[in-house]
Amino acid sequence: MKSPASCPAYLIGAYSGTWETWARSAWDATRNRRWRNSSCPGSTPWFYTHSSADINFNFGETITDSFGLSFYGTYYVGNFYLDGHAGFEWNEYQTERLIVYTTVNRTAEGKPSGQQYTANLGGGYDFRIGPVTLTPYGRAEYVHIDIDSFTETGAIGLNLFIDRQEIDSFQTALGGRAAYAINAPFGVVVPQVSLEWRHEFLNTAGRSRPSSPWIPSTRSS
């Protein structure tokens, strides 16, 4: 991977980093693994993510495989920088729901799919004081997630229909970052710490009312 100093001041490429964090948290995903191509930091036109989340007390699991394409542009004017980003992600989910009571022990499985769209715009200014860099910054982020409807299988008589879900999020972030450059025999080490305040304007996390596919009911999201 190239060092930041060897990358151009004006970057056109792709990004597959923290912008997907909100979507991951929507499914409380853990044990994340990612494979991606990279030359300069942030210049990743495609990515693949595999993640899984367990339900408490071993009552189920959700596995997510994501394939995405994510483009960005960064422009520098002196110590000022401006970031723009847009991306698309296709998600394949595998869900398991364990049903245990009295003499019943069944597992309901589902395989929905969905799409995710993201867009971000942000900027900041680097104040350099010797080896220390202080950076105040601001950012606006929009995420739209669709999860298709599906009917569970494998739990005879206890499978549920889950309606289509839509999730929208628009957040702003204001914060600051402090970095300190340390010369080492093998290169430059730059530890950093950041703090930011975020505000959610939409908060439209989708809720779906499950129903039995064999019993008429009102379906809503």
Give the tens place of pLDDT for each residue, 147-204: 999 999 999 989 999 999 999 999 999 999 999 999 999 989 999 999 999 999 997 7
Average pLDDT, the chain: 78
Given the structure tokens 């600051």, which residue do they identify? Answer: 176
pLDDT band at 70 (very low <50, low <70, confident <90, very high): confident
Give the tens place of pLDDT for each residue, 194-218: 999 999 999 776 556 666 654 444 4
Q: Which residue has the higher pLDDT, 161 or 57?
A: 161
- Measured distance CA(52)–CA(65) in Å, rounded: 9
Q: What local confidence, expressed as pLDDT, does residue 22 receive?
A: 32
